[in-house]
Structure 1
Amino acid sequence: VRGTTTTPALVPQTGQTPTLPYTATAGSDGALQEGTAWPSPRFTTDSGTESNCITDKLTGLTWVRDPSTINSATKLPWSSALYIVGSGNWCGYSDWRVPNINEFRSLLNYAYSNSSAWLMYGTGDSTSPNCDGACFINISNNRYWTSTTNPSNISSALCLDIQGGGYSNFPKDGTVEDWDPIPRYDCAAWAVRGGR
C-alpha cells in the first residue's frame, strides 16, 4: 500500500489472572496473560449530562451506560434495533450504532462466569477498580443484538449473551412457532460509538 502504514490490531488480555477464576496451571491463559494489558481503571463514566455514557479505555469505545434507556430494554426485531440505536441521541451524541460481535465481546471478562455482573459491580461493589465512578447499570437482558449477520443464514443475526459470554443466531424478524403466529423477539438493543 503506497504511503500508508498500518499498525496491527491489538488483542486484549481475557481478564484471567494467576488466581482468577482459579489458580492457573503453567501454560494456561491465566498464567501467561498474553495480550494487551487492561488500563486501570478500564471504564470511565462521563460526567454531567453525559453520565449515561461509559468509555472503555482499552478499546476507545463509548457505551450507553444504562441499556434500559434504549427502547426500555424491550426485546425487538433486529431492524428495529438498528433503527432505534442509529437514530438515538445519548449524552449529546448522535453517531450511535449497534455493536458488531467483536466490539461486544470486548466487554467480556473471562475471569468471571457472569460478565453482566462484573460490568455492573466489578469485583463485587460499585467502587471496583474496573470503573472510575459508577459502572454500568440495569443490564437486565441476557441477550443483545449485534450488527453482525450470520454468514451461513443471512436472515439471522448474532446475539451476544452478555451474562455467559456466548453468542447465538436468531431470526432478524423474530421467531414464529407453529402454535403461536405472533413473532417472539429474542434480543434487546445496546448502543456504542467511537473506537480505535
Structure 2
Amino acid sequence: MSTLRSKVRELEHKYSAIKGVFNNIYIGVIMKKTTMKIISMSAVLAAALLSGAAIVLATGSGGNLPVTGQTTEYIEGDDGTYQAGTDFPSIRFCDNNDGTMTDNMTGLMWVKNANAIGTLHQSFDTFGIVDWVNLIFCTAGDGAVTWQEALTFVAGLNNGTYKCGVTPDYSDWRLPTINELETLINYQIRPQTWLTSQGFSNIPTINSSRYWSSTTFAPNTSWVLMADFSNQACVTLTSKDYCMVNVWPVRGPLQD
C-alpha cells in the first residue's frame, strides 16, 4: 500500500499543473483482487486538458448519481457491467399536456418541442452559416442560433413574445446547465430515439442535434459547453460567437 500511495503522489505532482486549472481532478486507482493498476494521464491528454480541448469530469464519490442507462457490457468493468447508480423512475417523463414535459428523476420541466425555433419560430432564425468550428452547415430557419441569440430567445419565451407551444405563462425559463442537459442522456440508446420514445417532439436530425448550455468555460469565457447528441452523446466546447446550436429551454431548481 505504501508503494501505491507513493505512486499516486508522484502522479499528482506530475500533473499538478492540470489540477491547478481543473478543480477536483482525481487520478484513478483500480484494484481488482490482488491486481493493482494505476490510471494516469498521457502527455497528449495533459496537453489537451491544459489547452481546453478536452475536459475530464471526475468525482471522489458516487453519491446519488443516476444510472447511465447502459445495460450492455462491452468490456468487463464498464458501466454495463456494474450498472451502478440510482435507477431511472418507472415513468421517467410526464407529459403535462400543456407543451411541457417533467422529468420525474430530476424534477426539471422541459419544453416538449425540442426545436421550437426551427418548427414554430423560424423567423427568429434568419441567418445561415457554415459552422467552421464544428464543420456543420446551418441554414436560416433550422433552429440553430448563436449563444447570444439563444439567450434572447429564452428571454422572449419568458415575456410572451415566443410561446413554443407552451400554454402556461411561465416566466422562469432559462438555458440548461451542461449537467442538466446530460441528464437527458440514456447511454443504451441514441438520444433522438430515446427522447422521442419518452414523448418529446422535433428532436433535430443526427447531424444537427446539438444544444447550448448556460455553462461557460472559466479559463476562456468566449467558449461554452454544449451537449452534442448527434454522435451518440458527448459534451464539447464550442465558440459562443461563431457557432450555431439549437436551444432547449428548461425551468426548475436543479442547476449545477
Under a length normalisation based on structure 1, what TM-score does the superposition of the two structures give?
0.73
Whose radius of gyration is greater, 1 or 2? 2
Aligned to 2:150: 81
1:138 and 2:202 are equivalent in the alignment: yes
Of residues 61, 72, 89 in structure 2, which corresponds to 1:39? 89
Aligned to 1:63: 110
**RMSD across aligned C-alpha pairs, in angstroms?**
2.1
Over 3 Å counting, the alpha-carbon distance change for 1:23 and 1:155 in structure 2 is closer
Of residues 212, 225, 232 in structure 2, which corresponds to 1:158? 225
Aligned to 1:29: 79
Of residues 158, 179, 182 in structure 2, which corresponds to 1:102? 179
Distance (whole Å) between structure 2 residues aligned to residue 91 and residue 100 of structure 1: 24
Q: Is the 8 A contact 1:86 1:98 kept in 2?
A: no
Unaligned runs of 5+ in 1: 1-7, 122-130, 175-184
Q: Is the 8 A contact 1:87 1:94 kept in 2?
A: no
Structure 1 residue 23 displacement after superposition: 4.6
Structure 1 residue 36 displacement after superposition: 1.2
Structure 1 residue 24 displacement after superposition: 6.1
Structure 1 residue 86 displacement after superposition: 3.1
1:119 and 2:195 are equivalent in the alignment: yes
Amino acid at match of 1:10: N
Higher relative contact order (CA 8 A, sep 6+): 1
Distance (whole Å) between structure 2 residues aligned to residue 43 and residue 76 of structure 1: 27
Distance (whole Å) between structure 1 residues aligned to residue 252 and residue 155 of structure 2: 13
Unaligned runs of 5+ in 2: 1-61, 123-141, 159-165
Amino acid at match of 2:192: S
Task: State the SS of the aligned residue for 1:139.
Answer: coil
Under a length normalisation based on structure 2, what TM-score does the superposition of the two structures give?
0.57
User: Number of aligned pairs?
Assistant: 159
Task: State the SS of the aligned residue for 2:151.
Answer: helix
Structure 1 residue 108 displacement after superposition: 0.5
Higher mean alpha-carbon deviation, 153-162 vs 101-110, is at 153-162
